[in-house]
Chain A
């Protein structure tokens, strides 16, 4: 449990201010680290440096006009934020997007998941001192960015989805490119695995570090790969069956305690590698099953949502990405609340930081995959 703040540390404690500008705090995070030499007594996260008031902005935007802002919640998983918001509004309006649009959403999201995990895994390796895997993975991410650009014109903040569909269709060339990329990327994943995943130093650095048991993971609201690394068998795609995921076959990788304990940093690392493989599998199925047809359902020009409220969630790269929308019968949302994976991941850091070393804190932040814009919104 989190103890009350103590602003008068004991004399033997060294208080380190880690961040907001520090090489390993991805984005702008800050930790107040109370250490005894190399060993931490406590690391207190301080967030909010990237607070842009995205929830407040929603109150002044029309329903479709808010879509570009959802991209900015997390620059690594813009597609998922798009999707969560689109699904929420579609639920309120009672619209079902056409099947082709749903498939396009899944394709875009899974590509985005791969891209996001590439950055995460690369950053984990980089924070542990290995710089090269990061460059290798970013090289591959560049190809995904190219494809995204060809798909919707944007490389990072995609703004691809619309309420009731998607903004652009894709052609056979693009699908051919995707297939080529998958053939290529699966080999790259093998290379990555043999290069770094089971590297003895990396395993030693991550295994048995910062173990989060299943009860803690659920209690602190960890989601996605972090939750699954702790052995909780839950995946929104499979278990809630939104979009066209029920038609697709994929496994949900769980933490197995391969080199240490279930729920340690290494499991969080490996689960993400496995997830990329599953995403490739999903993408291949989508290539086969992609139907012809419309990409946009009929949606009124002026969206006036009825008085209702909805919580919709998707399985983002950082787990359950939820949005709670309260509609009051006007053209603008009354209240929008985003529930993001990084926010809950950050809340557990203080509880698990005791007794770790400073270098471990870096590994913990990296493997929990905390993205500052997402915690601060």
Chain B
């Protein structure tokens, strides 16, 4: 199934217009955030698609557009084809439904996205920080993130010294 057919099939299945880009390399399909879980269920269950493998789920921060794109990379072992689904959510109130009920693998990927980008996935069974400590402030993968100077009294930077040990 080529990208164009995939696009048609997606539109047909979800009954909405879907923006898409043939992309210079990987094509992707921009799903409205209300249809996020529905799209997930559809691409997993439709027999001619059967994207049963969630390769990865992550977010990309676009401060200029005031949005975060949540990107899901899917793959179908049966038909040997990849699919990239994206959805755009508000950067200040990043909230989207969780895909954990569709692919169990999504749970941890969503936790990571929550941890590093601050996207809240409603319905995720275990939405806690995963890589960073529970009390960490901020979400590092946001473009405007400023790392703290210290964490519990531990400095996060080291003094820059020259070869004689003199502080620069």
Contacts and interface: CB of A to CB of B under 8 A. Distances in A.
Interface string A47-64: 110010101100100000
A310 B82 CA distance: 12
Interface string A277-318: 000000000000000000000000000001111110100000
Interface stretch (B5-13, B35-43, B51-59, B158-166): B51-59
A4 B125 contact: yes
Contacts of B77: 218, 232, 234
Most chain A CB within 10 A, of B28, B82, B107, B133, is at B107
B24 A56 contact: no
Nearest to A236: B75
A5 interface: yes
Contact of A309 (B25, B82, B112, B126): B25
B131 A310 contact: no
Contact of B130 (A48, A92, A221, A240): A48
Interface string B76-120: 010010101000000000000000000111011000100010000
B52 A219 contact: yes
Contacts of B104: 1-2, 216, 219-220, 347-348, 351
A258 interface: no
A344 B129 CA distance: 16
Interface in A319-377: 320, 322, 324, 326, 334-335, 337, 339, 343-344, 346-348, 351, 376-377
A26 B105 CA distance: 22
B60 A221 contact: no
A48 B125 CA distance: 19
Contacts of A320: 55
A232 B75 CA distance: 14
B55 A322 contact: yes
What is the interface of chain B mostly: helix, strand, loop, or mixed? loop
A326 B105 CA distance: 23
Contacts of A51: 131-132
B155 interface: no
A66 to B, nearest CB: 15
A302 B134 CA distance: 40
Interface size range on A against B: 35 or more
Nearest to A343: B108
B153 interface: no
B157 to A, nearest CB: 14
State the majority secondary structure of interface residues on A.
mixed
A91 interface: yes
Interface residues of B, number: 37
A356 to B, nearest CB: 18
Given A48-B130, A219-B104, A232-B77, A326 B125 contact: no
A329 B125 CA distance: 38
Given A56-B140, A339-B56, A310 B26 contact: yes
Nearest to A376: B131
A48 B60 contact: no
B141 interface: yes
A3 B107 CA distance: 11
Given A47-B131, A218-B77, A310-B25, A324 B58 contact: yes
Given A55-B141, A309-B23, A310-B26, A48 B105 contact: no
A239 interface: yes
A376 B132 CA distance: 9
Given A2-B125, A56-B141, A221-B55, A346 B26 contact: no
A346 B73 CA distance: 19
A218 B60 CA distance: 25
B26 A344 contact: no
10 contacts: A2-B125, A47-B131, A48-B132, A218-B77, A221-B54, A221-B103, A326-B60, A335-B60, A346-B108, A377-B131
Interface of A: 1-5, 47-48, 51, 53, 55-56, 59, 91-92, 216, 218-221, 232, 234, 239-240, 306-311, 313, 320, 322, 324, 326, 334-335, 337, 339, 343-344, 346-348, 351, 376-377
Given A51-B131, A59-B143, A310-B25, 14 more contacts: A4-B126, A47-B130, A48-B130, A48-B131, A48-B133, A51-B132, A219-B103, A220-B105, A221-B55, A313-B55, A320-B55, A337-B71, A346-B108, A376-B131
